[in-house]
Structure 1
Amino acid sequence: MPAQPQPVRIEMVLDVICAASYIGYTRLAKAVARHRASGGEVEFAFSPFQLAPEATGEGEPLLDALREVFGEEAAAHTTQVAADAVHDGLELNYDRAIATSTFGAHHLIAVASGQGKGEEAVERLFRAHFTDGLNIGDPAVLAALAEELGVTVREPAGEALQAELDRVRRLGVRGVPVFAFSAGPTLTGAQSEDVFRQILVKSSNSSVN
């Protein structure tokens, strides 16, 4: 009897206020959908990273925050990123986006993953931040999103999440996104859908050898 291929496990390190993470995840999700449609299996593990660990949940307009750090050229850069994202079917509304803490958002992803809804939570949080202009550092917003997703959050974010953030830092991660494939490579940055698809196929084939 031929050996059955093992699921391809992907660990993605991300932050939900990172446009490259959003674009990279969107391309990966499309590749995963094609892979699953052809009979392949994929398991996700999402690891947290905070681009702005000092941010609070009060929030401020993202463009203002970017100008404070990077200067006036930040607006021109976001305009180009938003234009490029259209090719991936994404709407990045930087004029509405809010710079905020992502600690609670990462907690929601972890809880949702434990309830089999991690992929849905990641996509929804990206969209909430970049498209809907929601403050994803606001506990009330996160509670509403959890309800929308059908995720039950019983405990607030705390030491376990901080320990995971510290673990990722100790691994040497200094930027996101990072994609680590079982029986495959570790990639950084928003790769193309075809690159992701090729890795998935190769990883599946190697798992039966």
Structure 2
Amino acid sequence: MKETEDSTTRVEIVLDVICAASYLAYVRLARAIERVRADGGKVEVTFRPFQLAPNASFDGEPLLEVLTRMFGTHVVAETEQAAADALHDGVTLDYGRAVAADTFEAHRLIASAAAQGLGEAMVERLFRAHFTDGLNIANPTTLAQLADEVGIGANDVPADRLRRDLARVRARGIRSVPQISFDGGPALAGTQPEQTYARALRRADAMR
């Protein structure tokens, strides 16, 4: 990649950390970005919040029970297939352990982490906490422990700021995640192959 004053590729990803599609997309995107950075390229990632279940409990419920109640018993087979497919990306989706919970405070933690240059690490840890470790990522104690693991000094982004960020995303007409854009270009919706993200990074760099 070119070494100029404007050599940074800016990537925006709209996601929710209880969204399996967002998790897989982020893992693939992160791998593509890692290769760019290994070659000396510069990539800046901005996270935008989205809540798939804005009325979810902060206390947490077994995820499979919630999904079955919402969509029917066929969802169990679908989650089993999704978990099997995710293994190809090295991702463990343990729906049997996962806890359905509100993600407002998790998004606030991501914003705080991003302000400290640790947004990418915090997002990965939250995904893993939810889908692999079976942790309630709405629980304040759990979030404090995860923040400590990543090295976040304080979760100090005001709640009102996050509410405004969520409202801005909704105002853009976004109704599903993930949505990933490169240098402000059209968003790639849903989970794309890693090669697609790699091509988008190269194209964004070439057009600069």
Same fold (TM over 0.5): yes
Please report how far the alpha carbon of residue 157 of structure 1 lies from its aligned counterpart in structure 2 after TM superposition: 5.1
After superposition, the Cα gap between the structure-2 partners of 1:205 and 1:139, relative to the gap in structure 1 and judged at 3 Å, is same
After superposition, the Cα gap between the structure-2 partners of 1:71 and 1:144, relative to the gap in structure 1 and judged at 3 Å, is same
Please report how far the alpha carbon of residue 158 of structure 1 lies from its aligned counterpart in structure 2 after TM superposition: 1.3
Check if 1:133 corresponds to 2:130: no
Please report how far the alpha carbon of residue 155 of structure 1 lies from its aligned counterpart in structure 2 after TM superposition: 3.3
Where does structure 1 lack aligned partners over 5 or more consecutive residues?
Answer: none
- Counterpart position of 1:36: 37
- Counterpart position of 1:188: 189
User: Where do residues 127-206 of structure 1 align in structure 2 (5 Å cutoff)?
Assistant: 127-155=128-156, 158-182=159-183, 184-206=185-207
> What amino acid sits opposite 1:141 in the alignment?
T
In the superposition, the TM-score normalised over structure 2's length comes to 0.96
Any conservation in 1 of the 2:98–2:135 contact (CA below 8 Å)? Answer: yes
Moved over 6 A (4+): none
Q: Find the aligned partners of 1:152 and 1:167 in 2 and give their Cα distance.
A: 27
Any conservation in 2 of the 1:103–1:157 contact (CA below 8 Å)? Answer: no
The count of aligned residue pairs is 206
In the superposition, the TM-score normalised over structure 1's length comes to 0.95
SS at match of 1:133: coil
- Counterpart position of 1:92: 93
Q: Percent identity?
A: 51
- Counterpart position of 1:61: 62
Please report how far the alpha carbon of residue 34 of structure 1 lies from its aligned counterpart in structure 2 after TM superposition: 0.7
After superposition, the Cα gap between the structure-2 partners of 1:83 and 1:37, relative to the gap in structure 1 and judged at 3 Å, is same
Where does structure 2 lack aligned partners over 5 or more consecutive residues?
Answer: none
Q: Find the aligned partners of 1:19 and 1:82 in 2 and give their Cα distance.
A: 9
SS at match of 1:155: coil
Q: Find the aligned partners of 1:151 and 1:135 in 2 and give their Cα distance.
A: 19
- Counterpart position of 1:46: 47
Any conservation in 2 of the 1:10–1:180 contact (CA below 8 Å)? Answer: yes
Any conservation in 1 of the 2:177–2:189 contact (CA below 8 Å)? Answer: yes
Q: Find the aligned partners of 1:32 and 1:24 in 2 and give their Cα distance.
A: 12
- Counterpart position of 1:70: 71
For the aligned residue pairs, the C-alpha RMSD in angstroms reads 1.4
Instruction: String of CA shifts for 1:92-134, please: whole Å, max 9, x gaps.
Output: 1000000000000000000000000000000000000000000
SS at match of 2:11: strand
Any conservation in 2 of the 1:184–1:199 contact (CA below 8 Å)? Answer: no
Q: Find the aligned partners of 1:85 and 1:3 in 2 and give their Cα distance.
A: 36
SS at match of 2:102: coil
User: Where do residues 112-123 of structure 1 align in structure 2 (5 Å cutoff)?
Assistant: 112-123=113-124
